[in-house]
Structure 1
Amino acid sequence: MLETLLPILIFSALGVAVIGAWRRVRLWRQGRPSAVPLLKGLAAMPRRYLVDLHHVVGRDKVMSNTHVATAGGFVAAAVLMTLVHGLGLANPWLGGLLLLASATMFVGSLFVARRRRNPPARLSRGPWMRLPRSLMAFSLGVFAITLPAVGILPAGFGHWLLGLLLAAVVAWGLAEMVVGMTWGGPMKHAFAGALHLAFHRRPERFSTKAGGEGRSTGLKALDLEDPSAPLGVETPADFTWNQLLGFDACVQCGRCEAVCPAFAAGQPLNPKKLIQDMVVGMAGGSDAHYAGSPHPSQGLGGKPVGEHHGTPHGPIVAREGKALVDAETLWSCTTCRACVEECPMMIEHVDAIVDMRRFLTLERGETPNKAPEVLDNLIATDNPGGFAPGARMHWAADLDLPLIADLQQVDVLLWLGDGAFDMRNQRTLRALVKVLRAAGVDFAVLGNEERDSGDVARRLGDEATFQSLARRNIATLAQYRFQHIVTCDPHSFHVLGNEYGELGGHYRVYHHSTYIAELYESGRLAFRPWKGGSVTYHDPCYLGRYNGEYEAPRNVLRALGIQVSEMERSGFRSRCCGGGGGAPITDIPGKRRIPDMRMNDVEATGASLVAVGCPQCTAMLEGVVDAGAEVRDIAELVADALVARPAVGAFDATRRPQAEEVI
């Protein structure tokens, strides 16, 4: 009887799954076109899954091994079951391999069941709670029906009732594990996730080396010259088709939720819920069946689960009535990329948020709080504070800084950034100038020719102002010759190095911590030993997660003789200061402030000083009331510790000056 039932069950499930796949692809294809290399992407998919995806999953060793056993066992069991029981190619070798695969899958399902017994808050419940039972049903059912194939049990063993029971168990497993991959349910991520890896909108993220060293973090430019091109995303169908595919790949693990600073602060943003809202909009309907943590805004007057509705061609953010997403959700994001860094499915949350912001800003002119004023200032004065452009160099009146317009050619162009208008950051700039001069660096500044890099405008969705600023900066820089740019602002560092290239500006850009580390290693700087208290270091998002620079700042601190007391959340898991993405400008209220939480992280280390490498981080952390630790930029610490180099004519790169040769 099983010999008759099993092929019918297997090929029926496969047929229904194929119909579901066609239906699912139609949902994705509602999005705008996106050119992807289909065959190349499919060929690269296995490696992207086994290397890049598991590089992220592997941060949790237990769940990584669980996923290998469960997913690997399922794939092997599904293929072998089709051969052995579907096509009748039963033999001891194939049957033995099928037993091994199903047993491995069962072991993995036990760990899934253990995880689901008392799941952490970040994990979605609902249909996901039945997943362990479905995994067990599939693996045990396949194991039992395969025993006769290897001769452990006689063919046709047991009563016909047992055969029906086994067929029912296998059918249960096939419905969840095979049909559910394309029709919806917990296993949907397996089908969508595999294709998402193949057709990812940022294929450059995937490494050519083991360990996942690929990096792609620059926002994509809008085509402002094409009048038919959309200015941002108004409806789910305005996303590209592979963005919709990426949303559908979400496994609802909640890793993004667990690291999101806005969610932790009680602001109306949960990145997992946002992605699931996009899935609802793609298919049409409401979020009533969402079974994860809601937006924290419910306690602040936000809408509860079940009151967000959308359609593929309906507005995501409505001016009135029901919609998929509240505008405050989008404006809460600090663009720190913690969600993207943690996502095992490699979904691009920040890209989606900025795309939706672009529509609100460019098409509707709807930006909250001080954002309109800042954007107007950028248009009128080339800086977000509205300061007179001719005042950019007032802070350096006594420094006699060389202008590149006078020299035409230098080794280093020092990019000041809009910290030049801020009295606190002027101290950092003066310290950096002192360090560069102590090292004998041939540098100059643009002076009043420098404009805002455009970072704030772009993150607020004003792509037109960003491109205007960027093109004018590129035209200015094209007049001069320099080897590289150095800046103490990670946001300018990122934009100049990673986003100007698409507009024709290609530069080698250094963050000042990286450049100072290289100067020290080449023997051009020497320091007095550190005699202060305990120090911790705060990783700026736009230096760390955006550009992968974690070691250079720590190398500088070690060169100063500082033993860094690391915070629990440091490196790629560093907590955002709350200053990115225009968040201090849009100022969406929450239950607590993000910089307050970060200073609590600092206090937990017992450090009396927190070293930073970003003007915005400095401003946000110094703004914390009753903070127990001093905030100082790395350049300031280096400038205070400088000792004199030998005379220029007798410079020996191998000799370190003695402590008494103080500058």
Structure 2
Amino acid sequence: MLNTLLPILLFAALALAVLGALRRVSLWRNGRAAKVDLLGGLLAMPKRYMVDLHHVVARDKYIANTHVATAGGAVASIVLAILVHGLGWHNRVLGYALLLVSAVMFVGAIFMCLRRRNPPSRLSKGPWMRLPKSLLAFSGSFFIVTLPVAGVLPVNFGGWLLAIILGIGVLWGVCELFLGMTWGGPMKHAFAGALHLAWHRRPERFGGGRSTGLKPLDLADNTAPLGVEKPKDFTWNQLLGFDACVQCGKCEAACPAFAAGQPLNPKKLIQDMVVGLAGGTDAHFAGSPYPSLGGQGKPIGEHGGNPHQPIVNGLVDADTLWSCTTCRACVEECPMMIEHVDAIVDMRRHLTLEKGATPNKGAEVLENLIATDNPGGFAPGGRMNWAADLNLDLMSHKKTVDVLFWVGDGAFDMRNQRTLRAFVKVLKAAKVDFAVLGLEERDSGDVARRLGDEATFQMLARRNIQTLAQYEFKRIVTCDPHSFHVLKNEYGAFDGHYVVQHHSTYLAELIGNGALNLGQHTGTSVTYHDPCYLGRYNGEYQAPRDVLRALGIEVKEMVRSGFRSRCCGGGGGAPITDIPGKQRIPDMRMDDIRETGAELVAVGCPQCTAMLEGVVEPRPMIKDIAELVADALLEDTAPVKPAAARREPAEAH
């Protein structure tokens, strides 16, 4: 009986799965065109799955091992089940192979069941609670029906009752795996996820690469939408990426806005985009909702839309988008490598460029950038007031230098001026050949771009690139990770290609080359706060710690440090849009700091300095790395090699 039913069941399920796949592809094709290497991506997909994806998954050994057993066993079991029971290749070797892989899959599914007995709150429940049982049914049933093929049991064992029970088990498992992969359900991530890895929006991320710069809008194309208003305005491979979400909630657990009670949950946001892709409501979403301050906000079941309806006020509320600090913690943690921040900024672009709906002080800041080239609206002529007594060389006078010091808009902030002056002191002590742009420097455009004002960003970028083209320099160094990131990773799209370094990287180089005569830090215990735009965006975690170690400082690391550092709350224009929550993100970060018992926090970003110093006292002291180095400088007791004689970096860090 089973020998007759199994081939029918398997090939019927395969046919329905193919129909489902065609349907899903038609849903993705609602999106705009995107340039991808179709064949090359497919060929690269196995390595991306086995190496890049599992590099992220392997951070949780339990889940990594479980996933290898379950997913690997499932793929092998499906292939062998089709060969043995579908095509009737009743070969003993194939039979034993199917027994082995189905047993491995069964063990993996058991560990999934144990995980789901008391799942973390970040995990979606609902159909996901059914999945381990479905995998057990599939692997267990195929294990038993394969025993006669392997010669372990006689061909006609068990009788009709066992055949019926096994048939139900096979049907259950086959429906979950074959149909669920393309028609919907927990296994959908397997089909969409594989193709998402093949045709990823950022293929540069694979093979150990890093890709964090926002994609530019073609403002000259009058046919292209300015940002994303409706789901169909996303590119088709962005829609595919949303469909790949496994609802593990790692993005939710990492998100500072979610933890602060602001109305953003990155997992729910992606699932809302999936609803918009297929049409309907979020009534069946079985995870954590958006935080709802004061009981206000839409409950589950009231978010809905379709590919052709506006996203905001249908699928999501505007405050959800403006809550994001663009810290990329969600992207860093996502095992499916989904690009949440790209999607949020794309939707912000529509609100800002088409609707003029940037909240709170957003419109004022954008107007200031256009009128005065700085977000605070300060008179441009005051940009160099902080250095009135420092006799700094200007690029307009020198024309050619080793280092162009990009000051940034911290020049207008009295607290950050201390950092700038400290860094200048260090550069002079190291006898570095450097100069500044002075009044020729404009805002880098970071804030405008994160707020969705691509037009203002591109205007500022092109003006800065035009200015920089007049001069010769070996590298740009800046104390601001946001300017560092934009100059290094986003100006290239407009033919602005430079070697750019954060000041912590350059300081580590100067110290390593023996250019500075430093004393040792004594007394105060120190922890270090990783800026998002230096760490997660650019992968620089070591240089700041090397500088602190050179000062004799043993860093007392926070639990959330390195790539898991908690955002200070100052990125993405968050202090400007100022969406309320149950607590402030910098207060949460200060709690992380207090847990270390450190008396001083070393930072490397003016935004981080401002946000952390905004926490009410008592709290630890905040000092930039440049200030710590400047404090440790000793009077020269021996000649120091001039900076020009030291080796230059082969590439930007």
Residues in 2 aligned to 1:38 and 1:156: alpha-carbon distance in whole angstroms: 48
**Counterpart selection for 2:381 from 376, 390, 394:** 390
* CA distance in 2: counterparts of 1:368 and 1:651, whole angstroms: 50
**Any idea what the Cα deviations from partners look like across 1:582-632, whole Å, max 9, x if unmatched?**
000000000000000000000000000000000000000000012420000
Q: Report the secondary structure of 1:375's partner residue.
A: helix
Q: Counterparts of 1:514-663 in structure 2 under 5 Å?
A: 514-645=505-636
Per-residue CA deviations over 1:199-229 (Å, capped at 9, x if unaligned) read 001000001xxxxx21000000000111112
Q: Give the letter aligned to residue 320 of structure 2.
A: T
In the aligned structure 1, how far is the partner of 2:310 from the partner of 2:547? Answer: 49
Match of 2:289 in 1: 294
Q: CA deviation at 1:653?
A: 12
Q: Residue deviations 1:288-337, cap 9 Å, x none?
A: 1100000012644111111111111000014xxxx110000000000000
Which of 419, 433, 436 lines up with 1:428 in the alignment?
419
- Give 1:69's aligned residue: 69
> Between Structure 1 and Structure 2, how many residues are aligned?
646
Tell me how far apart the structure 2 counterparts of residues 560 and 604 of structure 1 sit (CA, whole Å): 23
> Deviation per CA, 1:496-516, whole angstroms, max 9, x where unpaired?
000000011000000000000
- 1:648 Cα deviation after fit: 5.1
Partner of 1:659: none
Alignment partners' CA distance in 1, 2:523 and 2:220: 56
Which runs of 5 or more structure 1 residues have no equivalent in the other structure?
A: 208-212, 655-663
Contact 1:280–1:310 (Cα < 8 Å) also in 2? yes
Q: Does 1:480 align with 2:471?
A: yes
Residue type at the aligned position of 1:206: F
Q: What secondary structure sits across from 2:147 in the alignment?
A: helix
Cα displacement string for residues 4-45 of structure 1 (whole angstroms, at most 9, x for unaligned residues): 011011101111100000000000000000111100000000
SS at match of 1:296: coil
Q: Trace 1:24-43 onto structure 2 (pairs within 5 A).
A: 24-43=24-43
Deviations 1:232-256 (A, max 9, x none): 0000000000000000000000000
Instruction: Supply the distance in 1 between the matched residues of 2:327 and 2:644 (Cα, whole angstroms).
Output: 39
Please show how residues 84-103 of structure 1 align to structure 2 within 5 Å. Answer: 84-103=84-103
In structure 1, C-alpha distance between the alignment counterparts of 2:642 and 2:227, rounded to whole Å: 56
> Contact (CA 8 Å) 1:412, 1:482: kept in 2 or not?
yes
Q: Which residue of 2 aligns with 1:210?
A: none
Structure 1 segments, 4+ long, off by >4 Å, are: 646-654
CA distance in structure 2 between the aligned counterparts of 1:631 and 1:595, rounded to whole angstroms: 13
Q: 2:134 aligns to what? A: 134
Deviation string, structure 1 residues 515-549 (Cα, Å, up to 9, x no partner): 00000000101211111311000000000000000
* 2:240 pairs with 1:249: no
Could you tell me how far apart the structure 2 residues matched to 1:4 and 1:526 are? 84
Q: CA RMSD in A?
A: 1.4
User: In the superposition, relative to structure 1, how do residues 586 and 300 fare at CA in structure 2: closer, same or farther (>3 Å)?
Assistant: farther
In structure 2, C-alpha distance between the alignment counterparts of 1:519 and 1:409, rounded to whole Å: 20
Cα distance in 1 between the residues matched to 2:69 and 2:136: 13
Contact (CA 8 Å) 1:536, 1:605: kept in 2 or not? yes
| Displacement after TM superposition at 1:274 (Å) | 0.1
Residues 374, 18 of structure 1: alpha-carbon distance in 2 compared, 3 angstrom cutoff: same
The answer to whether the 8 A contact 2:514-2:641 is kept is no
**Alpha-carbon deviations, 1:75-118, whole Å to 9, x = none?**
00000000010011111111111000000000000110001000
User: Is the CA contact (8 Å cut-off) linking 2:514 and 2:640 kept in structure 1?
Assistant: no
- Secondary structure of 2:571's partner? coil
2:292 is paired with a residue of what secondary structure? helix
**Equivalent pair of 1:645/1:651 in contact (CA under 8 Å):** no
Against the structure 1 CA distance between its residues 588 and 3, is the aligned structure 2 distance closer, same or farther, given a 3 Å change threshold?
A: same
Partner Cα distance (2:618, 2:452) in 1:
33
Which of residues 263, 268, 271 in structure 1 aligns to 2:266?
A: 271
Give, in whole Å, the separation in 2 of the partners of 1:165 and 1:508.
67
1:204-283 equivalent positions in 2, closer than 5 A: 204-207=204-207, 213-283=208-278
1:171 aligns with 2:156: no
Q: Which amino acid aligns with 1:91?
A: N
Quote how far apart the aligned CAs of 1:157 are.
Answer: 1.2
Q: Is the 8 A contact 2:181 2:187 kept in 1?
A: yes
Partner of 2:309: 314
Is the 2:351–2:358 Cα contact (8 Å) retained in structure 1?
Answer: yes
Work out whether residues 402 and 644 of structure 2, in 8 Å CA contact, stay in contact via their aligned partners in 1: no
* 1:405 to 2:400 alignment: no
**Amino acid of the structure 1 residue aligned with 2:214:** L
Select between 154-163 and 50-59 the one with higher mean Cα deviation.
Answer: 154-163
Percent of paired sites with the same residue: 75
Matched with 1:511 is 502
Q: Is the 8 A contact 2:505 2:543 kept in 1?
A: yes
CA 1:552–1:650 in 2, change beyond 3 Å: closer, same or farther?
closer
